[in-house]
Amino acid sequence: MDTSSLRLFVMAAERLNISAAGRALGLAPAVASARLAKLETELGVELMRRTTRKVSLSIEGSDFLPYAREILAQADAARAILGGKDTGPKGTLRFAAPSTFAQLHIMPLLPAFHAQYPDLTLDLRLSDTRFDAIEGSFDLALRSAPLTDSSLKGRKLSDDKRVLCASPDYLARHGTPETPNDLNGHHLIAWSSAKPRGLISDAGETFTLDPATMICRTLVDDGDAQREATIAGAGLSINSLWSVTHELEAGRLTHVLPGWHLNQPTVLWLVYPRSNVLTPKTRIFMDFLIRHLGNRPEWSA
């Protein structure tokens, strides 16, 4: 089986664009389409469905994709063992992550990563809204939620403790809550779902924070926007410590009800589809992130 055709298929599956995959490999669109069609003929299945509007993976293509990745990984490893000149990891890694976390903590690491692995390209898909790691054909994704999806495997990056915050100016104008019951009537900058959230004290007491009992005029779906609105004094908000640690240290934000935090076992997980082979490039990026960001004590303090 021709590994160059397999590489074209994998890149086309990741981009859902045969022409773009071909260009990345130095092939004209017509040549790329012909080579992929030849691979499908050899395998006896349609790997990708083409319409005039889009390209998508077939069921057979989705099943075959992890094996194609494994064949390429084994071929690259074999060349490295034989002493080939270019033995480092290559290719494109599709990585999905919450935009807020990526901007604060991953973007500053990119120069060091690219200096260490110059032949790896990171295709970053960043959004604070929920994504589907399998549907998106990602090699690796960062999730800040309990790992309950049986179709995913993962490694823990760090704790994700969440606390109530407000600006000193807001608290000066509206008063500082001393108990959870004092939250009633306060302004709340809520996530777009605006659903009740459970709080728990260091002593084990519980409380339900219900936006319906508060003044909730600002709904957001972006962590940066939520943090900046809180700093501006628009109200209270629940934030991950990794998002507001610097603001708390600098005094731009105040930890409200410091003996309480969100009653949810949230953890930052690096996840990948269980059906995927953990390729060298994925393992390298995963290890890099854990080495630089793993188990940060200030995110769970």
- Integer CA distances (angstroms), 55 to 13, 30, 50, 77, 256, in order: 9, 15, 5, 31, 50
> Is the predicted pLDDT of residue 74 greater than 70, yes or no?
yes
Q: Per-residue pLDDT averaged across 238-252, rounded?
A: 94
Return the SS3 of 147. Answer: coil
* pLDDT at res. 102: 95
Tokens of 153: 């495997």
Residue 2 confidence (pLDDT): 83
Q: Between these two residues, 112 and 54, which has the higher pLDDT value?
A: 112
| Segment of 164-178, 182-196, 251-265, 277-291 carrying the highest mean pLDDT | 164-178
Average pLDDT over residues 226-239: 95
Could you tell me the pLDDT band of residue 72, with boundaries at 50, 70 and 90? Answer: confident
For residue 218, give the nearest of 178, 245, 244, 188 by alpha carbon: 188
277 — pLDDT class (breaks 50, 70, 90): low
pLDDT tens per residue across span 186-231 = 999 998 777 899 999 999 999 999 999 999 989 998 889 999 999 9
Selected residue with higher pLDDT from 91 and 183? 183
Total-model pTM: 0.70
Give the mean pLDDT of 222-243: 94
The confidence score (pLDDT) of residue 87 equals 54
Give residue-wise pLDDT tens across range 81-129: 665 555 567 778 889 999 999 999 999 999 999 999 998 889 998 988 7
Q: For 51-167, where are the alpha helices, taking DSSP H only?
A: 59-81, 99-101, 110-116
Count of helices and strands (H, E) across the chain:
10, 15
Predicted confidence at residue 88, as pLDDT, reads: 63
pLDDT of 136 strictly over 60: no
How would residue 130 be classed by pLDDT, with cut points 50, 70 and 90?
low
Q: Decide: residue 283, CB within 10 A, 0-12 exposed, 13-18 middle, 19+ buried.
A: middle
Q: Can you identify the CATH homologous superfamily of domain 89-160+266-301?
A: Periplasmic binding protein-like II (3.40.190.10)
Average pLDDT, the chain: 87
- The reply to whether CATH 2.40.128.120 applies to domain 162-262 is no
What beta strand segments (E) does 113-186 contain? 120-126, 140-144, 152-159, 162-166
Tell me what the mean pLDDT of segment 233-258 comes to.
95
Q: What share of the chain is helix, strand, coil (3-state, %, to 5)?
A: 40, 25, 35
Distance, in Å, from the CA atom of 236 to the CA atom of 216, rounded to the nearest integer, reads 10
Domains 89-160+266-301 and 162-262 share a fold: yes
The pLDDT of 129-137, averaged and rounded, is 56
Instruction: Using a pLDDT cut of 90, give the percent of the chain over it.
Output: 51
Pick the CATH number of 1-87 from 1.10.10.10, 3.40.50.620, 3.30.1330.100, 3.30.1330.60: 1.10.10.10
Q: How far apart are CA 55 and CA 10, in angstroms?
A: 13
Instruction: Give yes or no for residue 60 having a pLDDT over 80.
Output: yes
Torsion (CA) 136, 138, 142, 144 in degrees, nearest 10: 30
* Domain boundaries of the chain, sorted by first residue: 1-87, 89-160+266-301, 162-262
Cβ atoms of 72 and 282 within 8 Å: the answer is no
Strands 91-97 and 120-126 come out as parallel
